[in-house]
Amino acid sequence: MGLAPYGNPDGDRVKQYRQKIITELVDIREDGSLLLNMDYYNFATGLSMCHDRKWEKLFGIPKRKPESELDQPYMDLALAIQQVTEEIIFRLADTAKKLTGADNLVMAGGVALNCVANGKLLRKKIFRNIWIQPAAGDAGGAVGAAYVAWHIWLEKERPAGNGKDLMKGAYLGPKYSSAEIARSVRRFDAPFEEYSDFDLLCNDVAGLLADGNAIGWFQGRMEYGPRALGNRSILGDPRHPEMQKKLNLKIKYREGFRPFAPSVLEENIGEYFGLDTPSPYIFKKA
């Protein structure tokens, strides 16, 4: 998802890669169900995702080594995979709508963290509302397991959300008191300044951000799920052209193309994005 925007959508290579994917790797049915050609995959019985040599022969490019340069063929392959993924998602959504007639769609699973696909699905207006579980990857399975035990084993009624998030948000992790934080600061002999005025703190942090600094923001309970939502977040000013690369390479130690989530006031959504739907768990992008 993060590398796909760097692919060339009008180039022949993306079209060729896409054709190879849908003819050799995955059989996509009209209803969105699919079959993988397991001759190319190793995850079911092995310790790796793919059979590298077969992929290299299919696409004509070698497996990329960690930290090696990302050139155009890899970007184009990422775009082709993103396009096929979106096609599958759209077909599944159409099928779900036909089978249920429902106005609302709930999504979970690792693919549900594909923000770009989710934004396009929302624009299609197949469903009136879309809600993505904030811990949509493997960690979220714990919530499903708990609900299954509650409903099937304990024979309890399934609660009706009535349009509300029964999880009551994603801030479900541990929190630490001021005294606990102070002890940690002293333990590591870290320099610190204590603020009693929150507005003054915010003003000073805003000034540091405007000067091109990166800020580690820590408050309240930790977020449940893979997305930082303001309580355990790295902040940077997107107006600085080098900020994305700086955060990726010097702080998060990952590839420079990796995207970051924007944070804006809910009432200003329409000023910055092509969608005007609130996204408290960062499930879509413009």
Per-residue pLDDT at 237 exceeds 80? yes
Residue 118 lies in a domain: no
State residue 156's pLDDT score. Answer: 92
Could you report the per-residue pLDDT of 144-158, keeping only the tens digit for each? 899 899 999 999 988
Residue 247 lies in a domain: yes
State residue 227's pLDDT score. Answer: 86
Is residue 218 very low, low, confident or very high in pLDDT (cuts 50, 70, 90)? very high
What's the CATH code of the domain at 217? 3.90.870.20
- Picking from 4-18, 196-210, 252-266, which range would have the lowest pLDDT averaged per residue? 252-266
Is residue 258 very low, low, confident or very high in pLDDT (cuts 50, 70, 90)? confident
The structure tokens 């630490």 sit at 176
Q: Which of 82, 101, 120 is the last residue of a domain?
A: 101
Task: Please state, rounded to an integer, the average pLDDT across all residues of the chain.
Answer: 90
Residue 210 lies in a domain: yes
Residue 212 lies in a domain: yes
Could you report the per-residue pLDDT of 56-98, keeping only the tens digit for each? 999 999 998 887 888 999 999 999 999 999 999 999 999 999 9
Domain of 55 in residue numbering reads as 1-101
Give me the sign of the Cα torsion angle 68, 71, 77, 82: positive
Residue 35 lies in a domain: yes
Question: How many domains is the chain partitioned into structurally?
Answer: 2
State residue 286's pLDDT score. Answer: 30
Residue 49 lies in a domain: yes
Q: Which of 54, 85, 101 is the last residue of a domain?
A: 101
Per-residue pLDDT at 284 exceeds 60? no
123: left (phi over 0), alpha (psi -120 to 50) or beta: alpha
Residue 184 lies in a domain: yes
Residue 280 lies in a domain: no
Give 276: exposed, middle or buried? Use CB within 10 Å, 0-12, 13-18, 19+: exposed
Q: Which of 53, 76, 101 is the last residue of a domain?
A: 101
